[in-house]
Structure 1
Amino acid sequence: MKKLFFRALVMSFLMTFQLGFAQKTVSGTVTDTSGVPLPGATVVVQGTSNGVTTNFDGDYSISASEGDVLVVSFVGFESASATVGAASTYDFSLSEGNALEEVVVTALGISREKKSLGYSQQTVAGDVISESKQVDLNVALTGKVAGVQMIGGSSSTFDNGFLRLRGESDVLYVVDGIKIYAMSDINVDNIESISVLKGAAATALYGADAKSGVIVITSKSAKAGETSFEVNHSTSISSISLLPNYQNEYGGGYYTSWDTFSYNPNTDPAEWAAFNGQLIPYYAADESWGPKLDGTLVRHWDSWIPNHPEFGTLRPWEANPDNVKNFFNDGIENSTTLAFNAGSDTASVRGSARLIDESLPFPNTDRNQIDVNMTGDVKIGDGLTAFASLNYQYRKTLNFPTNGYGGLGANFNQWWQRQLDMDRLERNYFFEGKYYSWNRRSARNATPLYWDAPHFDFYGDQNNQRKNVMYGNFGLNYEVSDNISADVVVRRRFNSYESNGRTGWGGIDTPSYRESTSRYTQNEAAASLTYSERFDEVDVQAVLGYQVTQNRNQSINASTVGGLTVTDFYSIATSVDRPNYSSSLVKSKSQATYASISVGYDSTLYVDGSYRLDWGSTANPDENRIETWGLSGSFIFGELLDASWLDFGKLRAGYSESPVFPGAYATTQVYNVGTAYGNFTRFSVPNTQSNPNLLGGTRTEFEAGVELNFLNNRLGLDVTYFDRKDKDQPISIPVSGATGYTGLAINSGQSSAEGIEITLNTTPVQTADFNWDLSVNFATLNKYVDFLAEGIETRVLDSWMSWYGLQTQERVGEEWGVLVGRKKAKTADGTDILTSSGRPTWENNQILGNLLPDFTGGLTSQMRYKNWNLGLGFDFQAGGKFYSTSNMFSYYSGLHEDTVGLNDKGIPKRDSTSNGGGVHVTGVDASGNPVDTYMSASFYYYIHYFGNHEHWLYDASYVKLRTARLGYNFPKTALDNTPFDNVNVSLVGNNLLLLYSNIPEGGLDPSEIEGSGSIASGYRNVEGGQLPPSRTIGINVSLTF
């Protein structure tokens, strides 16, 4: 069946070249009444999902048939329409009016007038998304939609961020009707528009998968009767933009005194006698509490490498302030997109190919990616149209740096020696067939301790990935009558993923090799009927459909055990012991029927209803049906008011209920198959016992909003309030270990959330030559834990090795996501309670903060002066907390600049206390008696700061200039004697400036927190070892023939 499906999908493209139809290309220009072009205006064929947006000059081109009605809309202007006849050019002049008639894409790709919607919806044009030349769609959306926030790892890696929409991370992405779960699979250069559906009332037709919101993406489509060719190329350079504040006064070691080399005639070569008495650092220390960097001549780590030109030499013990910075290089990305549109009276097809070659600001990293997109449609006969699309991506990656403790971020920012010369580390980490590192165990033993050399992490150790993605559809549309149409469509998505990695010979870890493969397939078939008709002042639009979906996910993993039998031969076959092997296969099936109806009266009052019934194989057969429904309505009260100050006014409200299915095999006993022991197969059970009666829980949501336009639609305000409850949530309750499990899954939990979203759009300046558009959005979210289970008041969401047990918890009656840990004991007036020797005392299990921010938002600015355009994008967050492991250990290990300087006596704090140094510690003991003493700096920054959760919990507030673009569009008169229709050159920048953060110690970007902490609902509580963020600046050239 799979082969037949794939062949049908491919054949559908061949059909577009063989079959003809009566469609043609219709083009034109959209302007205001003064003749000023309106870029981003929407042009759609009425009653279909066929639509485009105008370019910078207000030009559009769309495929349509004679008799079709074109509807043109733009925010703040009256919509206009025209019936397609024999002509091929239709220009539109839109006037500012009292009605807001923007046409938008809703669930299942259905086009609706925005004013008719009873729920929150925001549209982002594809040109706005692609103008920053950002490969990651989530980053490109950041700051543009209220209630949407991008959460991601370091901008200097290949990691893709993910979105939180109204505080939820399991957002559904739908591209041309196909569900996509990896944002890297989407080619942002191929996007026509994005519609963000936030509430369940808006997403009910998608079922339970869409309870947290849907990002509906419409791809660029073929245009009949037109031949065009586009070339778009960008080259960008990324560089590290933020590093911690290191100290540069003291080098590596545990003490400020020197060791000396002592020659041993029984074991050392005779020529080493000359080294006797030479000063040597404590090479193996991964801290910087060592001797002062005063130029003293010492034996550095590389002076012990045999046969090395500098063997036996002495060099000054001096600072290298830029040693970490010098490890990084400039990353380079080249991206080229080629696109064509070929059409005639018989066929049309659009195709594009994008090639990306990217290296990171790290050594030996590379990613090559190819994206191919094809779409076409054909009118087979009277009223019958066939359509198809195919998307393919191939991606190959060499080495992908990751955040977290134990990685490069931890090495440089937590455990390091400040005197190390990075150029020497790079030149000497591999010499005469052997690896060497700065942290050798001693002068005589080159084996590294704790860490590998940083370049070994990218050359000795390696990781490789290959990914193939294909998704597409093939369907038929039949116009039964002027009011009824029928659609049948089949969709398929296929992902294959292969990776291998090695732990190299010569490092601190046992050499090893690992491989993994996974295959994911989703097949879907759907049929629907659409009805649309107007009765005098009543509009009716209805949809009835059926859908069946199959999912299959298979993975295989293998790794060596005990080392490798052959040096530098990385293969599962060279495993010393029997390799580890595991595999999994997860299959599920669902089917659904759905219906929706929208009724409008006099373009003033609208009522919508949606219903979907799903059957799912992951649930108990007796409980395998769930019903998702939503009701919404809108009232255009501005039509009834005679108020010159109000151009448009609308009230809307909606209510919905969306149950979900339990996860695969959550209701059935399953066993994990492991590596065989001898001749016996080994099985194990999961930690949580399955429950045959388990359900997925139910969400109910109420939403209300108001939309207002003033000043001839140059000022627009959209305010939304939502209130939702999740009940009967699956949670794991503790059970006796005698059962073989640690927990049992039951339906019991309940939480509630409410929030406000505000979007303000304004055009402060609008003239023939200059136009300035501003958009600001703001959102809040408050989430509470109402109930967990009988007798259970607290549940741990996450407990990381954050030293002394920082946890993220759910506590009944508290706001969701409390951070619980330890803090210093203090008196009522804030004085530290100490031991008699000055050690702190602690209070454990204390609520120290919350993950949830107070509010989030963004600002976008678009200025156009004649042919110049400047676009800026900002995003921000206020509140929320995260724990920094890096800053804690930068104090512990003496790396941070705060660990040096003078004490209150004017003596270097790193001098011994007997010489007046140390840190002054004051407080009271448990009885209230004063404590006043001096403590050595290294011990003070350990005993007072290590595991001090309260101190290292930071405010996650930030303001960031995320994107900037300065572009020039060549006037058409300058292109008269050239083959080009449009030429645009622009300077683009991404992740440009962290304008504000509330981190006194510096060195971290709160918008890029990704470590080993909690990811519940997309929130991270621990920065385990952040890689430095990067700033990207590039140039883009776009040509249209």
Structure 2
Amino acid sequence: MKTTLNGILALFLALVVQVSFAQEKTISGTVSDQNNVPLGGVNILIQGTTNGTQSDFDGNYTITASVGETLVFTYIGLKEATAVVGSSNVINVQMQEDAQALEEVVVSALGVTREKKALGYSQQTVKGENLVQTKEVDLNTALSGKVAGVQMVGAPSSTFDQGLLRLRGETGVLYVVDGVKVYSQSDINTDNIGNISVLKGAAATALFGVDARNGVVLITSKTASAGQGSISIDHTTSMTSVSLLPKYQNEYGGGYYQEWDTFEFNPATDPAEWAAFDGQKTPYYAADESWGPRLDGTLVRHWDSWIEGSDTFGELRPWSANPDNIKDFYQDAITNNTSLNWSKGGDDYKVSASVRNINTELVLPNTFRNQIDINLNASFDFNDNVNMYTSVNYQTRVTENEPAQGYGSSLGSNFNQWWQRQLDMNRLEAGYNQNGSYYSWNIRSPRNARPLYWDAPHFGVDNNNTNQRKDVLFGNFGLNYKLSDNFKVNLEARRRNNNYFSNSRTAFGGLEVPDYTESRSRYEQNELFGFANYNDRFLGDALDIDVKVGFQLQANKSVATSASAVGGLSVPDFYSVATSVDRPSYSTTFTNSTVNSAFSSLSVGYESTLYLDASYRLDWGSTANVNDNRLETFGVSGVFIFNKFLDINAISFAKLRAGVAQAPIFPNPYQTTSIYNVGNPYGGNASFSVPNTQSNPNLLGGTRNETELGLEMKFLKNRLGLDLTYFQREDSELPVAIPVPGSSGFTGLSINSGQTSSNGIELAISGTPVETKDITWDLAVNFGTLEKKVDFIYEGIDKNILQTLSWYSLQLQEVVGEEWGTFVGRKRRVDSNGNFVLNSDGSHVFDTNQNLGNVLPDFTGGFSSTFRYKNFFLFTGLDFQKGGLFMSTTNMFTNYSGLHEDTVGNNDLGNPLRDDPSVGGGVHVVGVDENGGTVDTYVEAQTYFGGLFGAHDAYIYDATYVKLRQVRLGYTLPTSLLAKTPFKKVDLSVIGNNLLLLYSDVPGLDPSEIEGSGSLTSPYRAVEGGQLPPARTIGLNVKINF
């Protein structure tokens, strides 16, 4: 009986399975919108299951389902559509607009999503997919040109240096990733960004407190989609090469004069076989300029011909140009960027994870970085009322030999300031390390081959090594509890850890004393955050009220230690502080601070027409006076949506907004409290010193008052959009260092006194001029202006030196009544008619302490174009700046040292500039003397260009530029080719970054990327101090979805 029953059950199950399989079939079709335009990316799920797919770029889809099952089609901004599987294998679906879903939702303060129409302040969103079109690793560079009023002040693209993000003229923008404050954009994985919300004004950022007064870049990480799972692999291989170099001359070689030296054999000291060298021509090897003999092929003894035992010893070679010698030093660098992404979503959970590995070379040889990012986001619904979520982000970054920048021993300085144009880079590389010694082109004499001034360039990159490692871990863990349909609470713990280690060495065998330094630092930030939220509708749903009340507790702790050898190292080729010749130098720095905060906000909406927002925050900071350490930040904004009152079909949406806010800031740590600096022991006793500036227990960081007005409009059924903003701000009670009597033991005292005022206009225009079945073309333009004036410094003080920059005391100043950031320095004198005032010998007369212009640009902006034709895709992004000034040390030195092409050629007489004026050469100068008499003469070229050294006005340039920054040309493989593969989608692309400087008046430099070693680190880089060249990147990208 039991056997019979089992047999019956088995037969029944077999029949069920047979019937089920008999009813399963492959369904295909096309999804389109109400205008019959195919829709790609539509989610298609079998109702009640997690089985699903997506439509491709042409709207086509394929799914396996059974007869009677329901297919659910969903797409943002469109109504959900359903279709029941019947006898047909083809189901085409046309989706309709959902007026309610079309309301744009953005991320606002505290990471809360809101309808954009309700925001009373300036905000712009950048989708993650648009951010990394060209696989940019640096977040600031990726944002360049994409947000109005935001500019990326670039660092040289041939380095690992970070660019500065400047928002409404200020740096110090706060980055927030899933609620966690991140103070370095390099710690953020750009591939894991779902979208970015840029909050610009103080009214927008008030709830973030004092850290956010310069703006917030609010980042939401990628998350899984409900009911879907996906796996993708994204790989890019790219090559980077130098894109721009100064225009070098190739007519004259190294030396201080054009005559040849000759070798004179000395039988008393020279080897006998050197007698054959007597009378041979020799250049001035040790000269670090190129004012030497003409490069005419004369046979001479080059530097390496004096290295005994070498293959080149005794060799005579032509004195010839090497036009590409600088370019030949740099390499074509390869970067491999691979990321693996996985996500899975169900009815009550969402989990996503990603791993990214980047191996980056720089164009400078022997420079490398490996970076690994690991990201995890998860959300779990325990029931309808309780949700738990977490986000964990880890990055480890190892950098070898990060290049130095600026004036000094950096290679940018060497090649553009102290160099000889005839040098052969391949011979330098092959010959610098021979016979157990190091050599270079600048030997002291034929009898002393030790270099003078500088080691060979390859010695530095091969031997003077630096190593850095940075580990970053940040994330959160939170709980949402829904007490009722209208009331919920949130509690979240956040943590961020940064650990940094570096060591650097100066190698044995070079000109510099061997050295070794190592440093470690650790930064830790812990936060506890929570808020309660009540939301309800009244008056028949006409009135919407939302109230939030919350708190934030933040504790910061940092410790930094360093140890350095002093006097050299005692053990050859053993690099350790323990081998220091003299007592090593040690330092340790601790910093601890806390900020405790309470905040509240009220949002009121009426009839989806009028909105009012008010926010208030109190911060108690440990860095302020203990008796007065409370700061208040508040903002109020309002919105009026008026398109419904216009009755104009062409206007789809119209909104006016206005806001006011006040945002104070705490002083820096220990500005209000006296501290002691620990020095080296003296006489066996510990020594201490006090800072030069006296602490002020009542010091504040300043207060900002800001007003903002805005107009947002959309036209032609949202095909064209406009967002216009005007802002005005006043920064008052700014810290100012005033002089105090020396008898006090200090040189200055910081008090609250300064005041500046700013205003600007921001304009964002977006549109879709073409939208058909096969073609879509989207355009976006962003534009921003800024005026910033100095209103007051201190009674009796009308100017303040922001920084003394370089070379004959060029300064950046703030002067009362003028624009902030004035260059003050040496200027060639001119008379009322614009004629140069000259001395009788033709040299310039200089005036000092002259206003040379302003560092602030007139306006900045960007443009982007996204063009799609069937499966093809083309993205183009450029950015621009009009106005603003900077000084170039590179161009000053290339002229002074005779390296630049401006120092050669013929004068107006048709004779070589470098010929003596007595034979028709020289630079023709015309002007007047101090009495108004005419001066018309020719000046020897070396004297003329040497006389311009330190002439600030001659080397201060207009920083206007237009730059083609990003291009991506892509193709999506047709789904028909992938039918028998495990791939859902395959994208192939050619990408380019930093491609072309379309316009600039600056010779040999890219004004969009200036290193900051010789100037202010923020918010403007006023002096280029001798930097490495810009670089262009071109690569291939493939992305595969499974």
The two structures have a TM-score, normalised by structure 1, of 0.92
Q: Which residue of 1 aligns with 2:440?
A: 437
Corresponding position of 1:23: none
Give, in angstroms, the shift of residue 760 of structure 1.
1.0
Instruction: Tell me the secondary structure at the aligned position of residue 311 of structure 2.
Output: coil
Does 2:493 align with 1:490?
yes
Q: CA deviation at 1:971?
A: 2.7
Q: Which residue is equivalent to 2:556?
A: 551
Distance in 2 separating the partners of 1:865 and 1:83: 27
Instruction: Report matched runs for 1:715-730 at 5 Å.
Output: 715-730=720-735
Question: What code does the residue aligned with 2:821 have?
Answer: G
Contact kept in structure 2, 1:30 and 1:94, CA below 8 Å: no
Q: Does 1:472 align with 2:471?
A: no
Give the unaligned 5+ runs of structure 1.
Answer: 1-27, 44-52, 61-69
1-side partners of 2:884 and 2:872: how far apart? 39
Of 700, 704, 711, 2:705 maps to 700
In the superposition, relative to structure 1, how do residues 487 and 949 fare at CA in structure 2: closer, same or farther (>3 Å)?
A: same
2:106 corresponds to: 104
Partner secondary structure for residue 584 of structure 2:
strand
SS at structure 1 position matched to 2:843:
coil
Distance, in Å, in 2 between the alignment partners of 1:57 and 1:686 is 68
The 1:383/1:57 distance shift into structure 2, 3 A limit, reads farther
3-state SS of paired residue (2:1039): strand
Superposition deviation, residue 86 in structure 1: 14
Letter in 2 for 1:722: F
Which residue of structure 2 lines up, in the alignment, with residue 138 of structure 1?
140
**3-state SS, counterpart of residue 356 of structure 1:** strand
| Contact 1:80-1:92 at 8 Å conserved across structures | no
Q: Shift in Å at residue 73 of structure 1? A: 9.1
1:934 is displaced (CA, Å) by: 2.4
Are residues 1:1031 and 2:1032 paired?
yes
> What code does the residue aligned with 1:332 have?
I
User: Does the CA contact (< 8 Å) of 2:398 and 2:467 recur in 1?
Assistant: yes
Query: Which position in structure 1 is the counterpart of 2:809?
Result: 805
Match of 1:587 among 564, 584, 592: 592
Deviation, 1:854, is 0.5
1:521 is aligned, of 496, 521, 524, to 524
Larger displacement relative to structure 2 (274-283 or 324-333): 274-283
Greater Cα shift, 1030-1039 or 347-356: 347-356
1:205 counterpart SS class:
helix
CA contact (8 A) 1:633 1:654 kept: yes
Paired with 2:494 and 2:426, the residues of 1 have a C-alpha distance of 53
> Is the 2:164–2:1018 Cα contact (8 Å) retained in structure 1?
no
What is the CA-CA distance between 1:768 and the residue it aligns to?
Answer: 0.8
Quote the Cα distance in structure 1 between the aligned partners of 2:399 and 2:101. Answer: 51
Which runs of 5 or more residues in structure 2 are unaligned?
1-28, 45-53, 62-71, 86-90
SS in 2 for 1:313: coil
Residue type matched to 1:1005 in 2? D
Question: In the alignment, which residue of structure 1 is the partner of 2:343?
Answer: 341
Q: Classify 1:335/1:58 alpha carbon distance in 2 versus 1 (closer, same or farther; 3 Å).
A: farther
Question: Per-residue CA shift, 1:857-905, capped at 9, x if unaligned?
Answer: 0000000101111000010000000001110111100001010111222
Contact 1:154 1:403 in 2 (8 A): no
* Residues 1:764 and 2:766 are matched in the alignment: no
Contact 2:614 2:635 in 1 (8 A): yes
Q: Aligned to 1:572, which of 566, 572, 577?
A: 577
Instruction: Compute the RMSD of aligned alpha carbons.
Output: 2.5
The one of 984, 987, 1001 equivalent to 1:998 is 1001
With over 3 angstroms needed to count, the CA separation of the structure-2 counterparts of 1:552 and 1:40, relative to structure 1, is: farther
Q: 1:954 aligns with which of 952, 957, 982?
A: 957
Is contact 1:98–1:648 with CA below 8 Å preserved after alignment?
Answer: no
Distance in 2, matches of 1:519 and 1:767, equals: 55
Alpha-carbon deviations, 1:292-334, whole Å to 9, x = none? 0011111101111121011111110000000001001101100
- 1:400-411 correspondence to structure 2 within 5 Å: 400-406=402-408, 407-411=410-414
Partner of 1:17: none
Instruction: Indicate if the aligned counterparts of 1:806 and 1:949 stay in contact, CA closer than 8 A.
Output: yes
Check 1:42–1:414 CA distance in 2 against 1; reply closer, same or farther (3 A cut): farther
Of 779, 782, 787, 1:782 maps to: 787
Distance 1:783 1:916 in 2: 51
Please list, as runs of the form range in 1=range in 2, the aligned pairs for 1:810-821 lying within 5 A after superposition: 810-821=814-825
Q: Secondary structure at the match of 1:655?
A: strand
**Which residue does the alignment assign to 1:860?**
864
Q: Tell me what 1:425 maps to.
A: 428
Rate the CA distance shift 1:1021–1:29 in 2: closer, same or farther, 3 A.
Answer: farther
Q: 1:271/1:40 Cα in 2 relative to 1: closer, same or farther (>3 Å)?
A: farther
Of 1011-1020 and 767-776, the range deviating more from structure 2: 1011-1020
Matched to 1:750, the amino acid is Q
- Residue 238 (structure 2) aligned to one of 236, 249, 260: 236
Is the contact made by 2:34 and 2:94 (CA closer than 8 Å) also made in structure 1?
no
Give 1:1003 shift: 0.5
Residue 796 of structure 1 is aligned with which of 801, 814, 833?
801
Q: Label 1:39 to 1:626 Cα distance change in 2 as closer, same or farther (>3 A).
A: farther
- Residue by residue over 1:107-152, the C-alpha shift from the partner in whole angstroms, topping out at 9 and shown as x without a partner, is 1111111111111111000001122100001101101100010012
Task: Deviation per CA, 1:90-119: give whole Å up to 9, x if none.
Answer: 999454979972111101111111111111
The 2-side partners of 1:59 and 1:493 are apart by 45
Conserved? CA contact 1:42–1:73, under 8 Å: yes
Bigger shift: 1028-1037 or 456-465? 456-465
Tell me the residue number matched to 1:456: 459
Q: Name the structure 1 match of 2:68.
A: none
Q: What amino acid does structure 2 have at the position aligned with 1:424?
A: R
Deviations 1:807-839 (CA, angstroms, capped at 9, x unpaired): 100000001101111111121112222222222
CA distance in 2, matches of 1:172, 1:566: 47
Q: Which secondary structure does the structure 1 equivalent of 2:839 belong to?
A: coil
Deviates more, 1:681-690 or 1:714-723: 681-690
Q: Give the structure 2 partner of residue 651 of structure 1.
A: 656
1:748 alignment partner in structure 2:
753
Partner Cα distance (1:881, 1:29) in 2 = 56
Q: Alpha-carbon deviation of 1:583?
A: 1.1
Which deviates more, 972-981 or 387-396? 972-981
Cα drift, residue 266 of structure 1: 2.5
Q: Return the letter of the residue paired with 2:673.
A: T
Cα pair 2:470 2:500 within 8 Å, conserved: yes
2:284 counterpart of 1:282: yes
Work out whether residues 635 and 652 of structure 1, in 8 Å CA contact, stay in contact via their aligned partners in 2. yes
Shift in Å at residue 958 of structure 1?
Answer: 0.2
Residues 384, 547 of structure 1: alpha-carbon distance in 2 compared, 3 angstrom cutoff: same
Matches within 5 A, 1:164-179: 164-179=166-181
For the residue of structure 2 that corresponds to 1:229, the secondary structure is strand
Looking at structure 2, the residues matched to 452 and 172 of structure 1 have their Cα atoms a distance apart, in angstroms, of 42
Question: Match for residue 925 of structure 2?
Answer: 921
What amino acid maps onto 2:378 in structure 1? G
The DSSP-based 3-state class of the residue aligned with 2:126 is strand
Which amino acid in the other structure matches residue 835 of structure 1? N
Residue 315 of structure 2 corresponds to residue 313 of structure 1? yes
The ranges of structure 1 where at least 4 consecutive aligned residues each deviate by more than 3 angstroms after the TM superposition are 28-32, 35-43, 53-60, 70-74, 79-87, 89-100, 222-227, 342-348
Q: How many residues align?
A: 987
- Alpha carbons of 1:710 and 1:572: their partners in 2 closer, same or farther (altered >3 Å)? same
Relative to structure 1, the CA distance from residue 1007 to residue 100 in structure 2 (aligned partners, 3 Å threshold; closer, same or farther) is same
Indicate if the aligned counterparts of 1:1011 and 1:1026 stay in contact, CA closer than 8 A.
no
In the alignment, the residues of structure 2 paired with residue 681 and residue 55 of structure 1 have an alpha-carbon distance, to the nearest angstrom, of: 73
CA distances 1:471-518 after superposition (whole Å, capped 9, x unpaired): 011111111111111111100000001111111222222111111111
626-635 or 833-842, larger mean C-alpha shift: 833-842
SS in 1 for 2:476: strand
Q: Which of 1 and 2 has greater Rg? A: 2
Q: What is the TM-score normalised by the length of structure 2?
A: 0.92
Distance 1:612 1:839, change over 3 A: same
CA distances 1:363-414 after superposition (whole Å, capped 9, x unpaired): 1111111100111122234511211111111110111123311211111112
Deviations 1:245-279 (A, max 9, x none): 11000000000001111222232222222212111
1:553 CA displacement: 1.2
Amino acid at match of 1:977: K
Correspondence 1:343-362 to 2 at 5 A = 343-344=345-346, 348-362=350-364
**1:269 aligns to 2:274 (yes or no):** no
Q: Secondary structure at the match of 2:994?
A: strand
CA offsets, 1:944-965, max 9 Å, x none? x111111111000000000000
Give 1:934's aligned amino acid. Answer: Y
In 2: Cα distance, 1:745 partner to 1:983 partner: 60
